[in-house]
Structure 1
């Protein structure tokens, strides 16, 4: 646990090298390690900081009227400072992608490179209605006593290959959701990052599952066009949990990008 002034953040640290901060999504039962634990062995040559964002995992639920993305971004910045990290790569999934973007907008000097998997915080003008993945997420959050089957229905929608929605994964997420079930308005006030996309100066890689039913690929162009130095990779036969469902490809793409390969190649062209 890390003291960040008015809150505590749980985190896991592994590896040595340039720092990478990993920021998870807002789904029920989400934690830093449930989102990224399987990816870390491919990044042992980096100093990995895997955070439980406020109100998820082992990090206590905050009392705040701030938009959740804004609140979490400030606490992650404080955590970086407490850990002696002046500057880091940020890897964010969904809600965590929104948190990463907010940090890059407000403190560009603290961010090297930005990897965003179907990030939150930028909505199309016609939302709601919500994609089915967000409907199930909000429905689970609103339930007084969500069931394991509710969790199973949610997890199956996160992956294209439903055999990856194993009983062990469903049980882990369900038990975690009961330990830290955020009491939030539905839909939560995540905050709107749209007006400040142009303030992101870090080289940015967007990674999207083509069949994502939670933050659909049709939402990507607004972010791709709004961030000055952004590129997009789309993985077919893949839904919202890109880093889990297509882990080998994800690890390879991200490692190449963090080393500067993708941006260097684009510059030569």
Structure 2
């Protein structure tokens, strides 16, 4: 069941489940994205954690306020306020794409609040030669720019997110399409996400990067700058997988992430 929290300038929507060490789950910026559409199928494997699955501002059930700052910076501040409102001083952060960038921003600006980071093909760090954009980002920006995007455009977008295109089911396409019409972000194209590159070295949390080898949205070649920039980062690459690692390779994702998060419980002390 979706609840809301007052974070100052909007009511941030979230879903909570499980008990244990807190994990905050942060979704991507694709059209129709919500916290539960990104991560709902993974949560049963993490029911011994306190899971907070957020709809970031402007997506899902969370409205977008007027802002004059980069999206990543704005969202990170609101997620931090939500953690405070929920009585969470410190948590693991798991973020996909845009949500991964939001997680990195929180780890940069409030390192004392982050135990471990899991980042699936995170945004916020671009190569010097971008644009041109990878085809996945081209489709994302094209969908954002449409006055009333079509279901066909959503179908094309979803098919690019997975290597095994049988996973791009009609039910998934319909769910994402209907959600996108409810909360179609009114943003410049491309949006001002913000640049995290200069502050990568501020991330002290142990960090796991997960990437689909065939990702056509945030390509694997973009991982190097992040891997080299975060002092305590490791990279796992999953073959025959594109951008939605947690969806397309759910069993492997759940096992890898659980093992990484439970290292802390086994006595590995996170960096401050």
TM-score norm. by structure 2 comes to 0.96
For 2:226 and 2:151, how far apart are their aligned partners in 1? Answer: 34
* 1:206 paired to 2:205: no
- What's the counterpart of residue 59 of structure 2? 56
Alignment map for 1:180-199 (pairs within 5 Å): 180-199=183-202
User: Which residues of structure 2 form unaligned runs of 5+?
Assistant: none
Tell me which of 214, 229, 232 is aligned to 2:235.
232
Alignment of 1:15-164 (within 5 A): 15-164=18-167
In 2, the alpha carbon distance for the partners of 1:78 and 1:250 equals 28
RMSD: 1.3
Q: Which residue of 2 aligns with 1:216?
A: 219
* Residues in 1 aligned to 2:34 and 2:113: alpha-carbon distance in whole angstroms: 23
* Post-superposition offset of 1:225: 0.1
Other structure's SS at 1:127 match: coil
Task: Tell me the equivalent position of 1:4.
Answer: 7
Structure 1 residue 193: Cα displacement: 0.0
Q: Report deviation, 1:260.
A: 1.2
Report the number of matched residues: 265
SS of residue paired to 1:206: strand
C-alpha displacement at 1:264, in angstroms? 8.3
**What displacement does 1:61 show?**
1.4
CA offset at residue 29 of structure 1? 0.1
Return the TM-score normalized by structure 1.
Answer: 0.97
Runs of 4+ residues deviating >6 angstroms:
none
